[in-house]
A and B are shown apart, each in its own frame.
Chain A
Amino acid sequence: EAGVAQSPRYKIIEKRQSVAFWCNPISGHATLYWYQQILGQGPKLLIQFQNNGVVDDSQLPKDRFSAERLKGVDSTLKIQPAKLEDSAVYLCASSSTTGRYNEQFFGPGTRLTVL
């Protein structure tokens, strides 16, 4: 079974620039999550989708961050404009709502450096 795919793996931008990350979840997984993990901290949930609807985006900085999952499959997370404090690893995860343990499977992440 193919895992969660993310791209790019690394991105370096200057502050005030825009950036977008892409995630393709495991086939058939209805739930998709975006996390931000700052160095030395645990992942922080940014947004959770159930199919193409948003379940929770309470911790998403909506003035600069946006995410979509238009067809209920892959998703993009955008930052516009980026700030220095956005430097982090952005993790995408997916889970099957029918799974016994509702386990989240994580992608390899995208490491963003904002200069």
Chain B
Amino acid sequence: EDKVVQSPLSLVVHEGDTVTLNCSYEVTNFRSLLWYKQEKKAPTFLFMLTSSGIEKKSGRLSSILDKKELFSILNITATQTGDSAIYLCAVKGNNDMRFGAGTRLTVKP
């Protein structure tokens, strides 16, 4: 059965810290891995990764995929209180998108 496992489940840091969120997966016919940020209700898209070893970067956030070891990491540098959210990893196979449980990040001032 396809599965997506995120770690840690929760993380508390202080402003300015750097964090690394992990996502490992097992899915048949892998097509892409996506990262979302969920602050209130609706997840908002961050990155989509399809190829190994190519870093995607947006400001202080970056992500990379390892298709051999079946995992991805999401890095956030110089964290701010506005980064507090649940970060969701989702993996897309042939049809459906399967989400992990998410990592709840809390950034304290």
Write the residues of chain A forming the contact surface with B, with a CB cutoff of 8 angstroms: 4, 33, 35, 40-45, 48, 55-56, 58-59, 89, 91, 101-109, 111
**Interface residues contributed by chain B, number (CB under 8 Å):** 22
CA A104 to CA B43, docked complex, whole Å: 9
> Which residues of chain A have C-beta atoms less than 8 A from B44's C-beta?
106
Q: Interface SS of chain B: helix, strand, loop or mixed?
A: strand
Q: Indicate if the CB atoms of B42 and A109 lie closer than 8 Å.
A: yes
Please count the residue pairs between chain A and chain B whose beta carbons lie under 8 angstroms apart in the complex: 53
CA A91 to CA B42, docked complex, whole Å: 7
The 19 sampled A-B contact pairs (Cβ below 8 Å) are A4-B42, A33-B97, A40-B101, A41-B102, A42-B4, A42-B6, A42-B99, A42-B100, A42-B102, A45-B98, A48-B95, A56-B95, A58-B96, A89-B41, A102-B32, A105-B45, A106-B42, A106-B43, A108-B40
Q: Indicate if the CB atoms of B101 and A41 lie closer than 8 Å.
A: yes
Q: Indicate if the CB atoms of A108 and B101 lie closer than 8 Å.
A: no
Within 8 A of A (CB), among B66-109: 88, 90, 92, 95-102
